[in-house]
Structure 1
C-alpha cells in the first residue's frame, strides 16, 4: 500500500520502497543556508520566521528532510531569494519516507488544483492523524525500526499542508472512503476517537474538502476494482494513480483516465452526500 492512502509500501518499508540518499536535497539545503547567511540570520532567528522549529530547519539545511511547500514559500519571502528556492524545490528527486514508486505521484499531488481519492482499505494519508498512521504502519509486516517509522510519519504529516485553504489557488479535494474502513477501529478505540475528531474538525473547517462515506450496504458499487486517485494539474491535464502490494502505477492514457472519471462520478452518486456523511460520522463518534 502506498503512502498517500495510508499504507506502508510507499512509505519506504524496504525493498523497492527504501528511501535513498539524495544529492538534490543536500544541494537545496546548502542553497537555503547560503541565502539565510546572506540575510544575516542565525537558524534560531530564521526558524520562527518560517514558522518551523529549529531542528526542522536544521534537517532541511542538512538535506535530511524534504522541505514542505509552505516552508519553501515562506523561506522564499523571508530570504528574498529571487525565486531560486521555489525553482530548486521543483527539482528535488526524493522525499524521505516515500517509496520510489509513489514519489512521482506525490509531485502531481503537490501541484494539483483538483484531487480525487477513493479508498477502501485505510483512511487516506492526507486525512490521517499521527497515531492512526503509526498504527497502520505497525500493522503491516515487516515492522520498521523506530527511526524509519519516524521518517515515514514525518513524510505523511508534512503532506497535510496540501489541505491548506491559504494555498493559491487552494486545491479542491474529494474523498470517498468506505464506512467499513472507519469502523475497523485500527489502533483501538482511543486512536479511532482521535481520528473521528480530527476528521470532523477538518471537514467543518476546510471548505475545499468534500468528504463522503460509502455505506456498508451498497448493492451496486462502481469502485469494486479497488482504490483510485485522480489529479488535475494547473494546466488542466488529468492523471490517475492506482496501487497494490509493493507497487503503484501512474496512469496517463486518456482512455484510462476517462474510465476512472466515469467510475469516480458514479461513486459520488452512490456514496452518502457530504451532509449525510458528516451526520453518520458524528453518530459513529458518539457510539464509541
Structure 2
C-alpha cells in the first residue's frame, strides 16, 4: 500500500471512530477513560495523527460495540506478513517519524543492512530457511530503508556498539561491504552514526536494542526488542527514561569523526582477513 493510500485509510479509521463515538454519546475524554488512554490520544486517532495499538483498537470495539470493526481495520492496515507480528506497527511508525534514534548492541540495524548481511542474519537464525523466504525478508528490509532516501526522510541517529563492527556476520567480504555501506551513508549525510567502544565497559541498556521515534504532531515512542518479541512503549514516563538512557549512551560514544574512522578501519580489517583466507 502506498504511503498516500495508507494515510487515507487511517483517516477513514479516524472518521469512523469519531462517528461511532459521537453516536454513543461519548466525549473523547470519556472514551479514552474506558479504553485506558488519554482523551488527547483519542483525538489523535480520529485525526489520523497517531495509530492506536492493537489492544486499544480491541477495547474501542468493546466500548463502542462495533463487532470487531476497528480490530479488523487495524489488522488490515498494520499487518504485513513480511515482518514479525510484534514489529509490524514499528514499521508503520517509521514511515511517519521525523526522528529515529537507535542503539544497536549486536547487529547492524535493519534500516542500514545490506542484502548480503540480511541474508547471513536470516541463515544464522534458521539454517533450513527457504530461499524465497530469505528474499522476501531481504526485500522488506530494503523497502523499509527507502525512508532514508525520501525528501522528507527522518533524522536518523544510530549508536553502534563496537561489537557490531567486529563480530563477523557472513564472510569477510560481506562484513567489509556492510561497513562500507554505513560509512558511505554517513559521508552522504543520510545518517548520524556514533560507535560505543569496548573501552567504555559497562553502559546503560546493557545488551538491549532500543529505538526511539519522534513525530510531528504525536508524542514520542520507544521500541525495545527481546527474544522473538518486542515491546512498543508510549507511556511518557517510560519513554523519558529510555531517552535519558540513550542520552547517556550518546555521551559515552565516540564523536562522529572518530566513529567513522573506526568503522572504516574495521572494514579494512575484515577485508584484510578475507584476503588471507
Among 264, 269, 287, the residue aligned to 2:251: 269
Runs of 5+ unmatched residues, structure 1: 1-66, 74-82
Equivalenced residue count is 206
Correspondence for 1:185:
168
Instruction: Structure 2 unaligned segments of length 5 or more: list them.
Output: 12-75, 272-277
Shift, 1:286, TM fit: 2.5
Higher relative contact order (CA 8 A, sep 6+): 1
Pairwise CA distance, 1:106: 1.2
For residue 150 of structure 1, report the CA deviation from its aligned partner: 1.2
- Partner in structure 2 of residue 87 of structure 1: 8
| Counterpart-to-counterpart distance in 2, 1:86 and 1:261 | 28
1:245 CA displacement = 1.0
1:86 offset after TM fit, Å? 4.9
The residue correspondences of 1:250-261 to structure 2 (distance < 5 A) are 250-261=232-243
- Who is 1:24 aligned against? none
Q: Secondary structure at the match of 2:102?
A: strand
Please report the TM-score for the alignment, with normalisation by the length of structure 2.
0.69
Cα displacement (A) at 1:222:
1.6
The structure with more radius of gyration:
2
Give the direction of change, closer, same or farther, for the CA distance of 1:197–1:89 in structure 2 (3 Å limit).
Answer: farther
Aligned-partner Cα distance in 2 for 1:220–1:153: 33
Is contact 2:193–2:256 with CA below 8 Å preserved after alignment? yes
Q: CA deviation at 1:208?
A: 4.5
- 2:212–2:222 Cα contact (<8 Å) kept: yes
TM-score normalised by structure 1 residue count: 0.67
Task: For residues 127-169 of structure 1, give each alpha carbon's deviation from its aligned partner in whole angstroms, at most 9, with x where no partner exists.
Answer: 00000000011001363212211111111110111112512xx
The equivalent of 1:63 in structure 2 is: none
CA contact (8 A) 1:115 1:232 kept: yes
The alignment status of 1:104 with 2:97, answered yes or no, reads: no
Distance 1:84-1:97 versus aligned 2 partners, 3 A rule:
closer
Equivalent residue in structure 1 for 2:131, among 135, 140, 146: 146
Q: Deviations over 1:158-184 (max 9, x none)?
A: 0111112512xx301110011111211
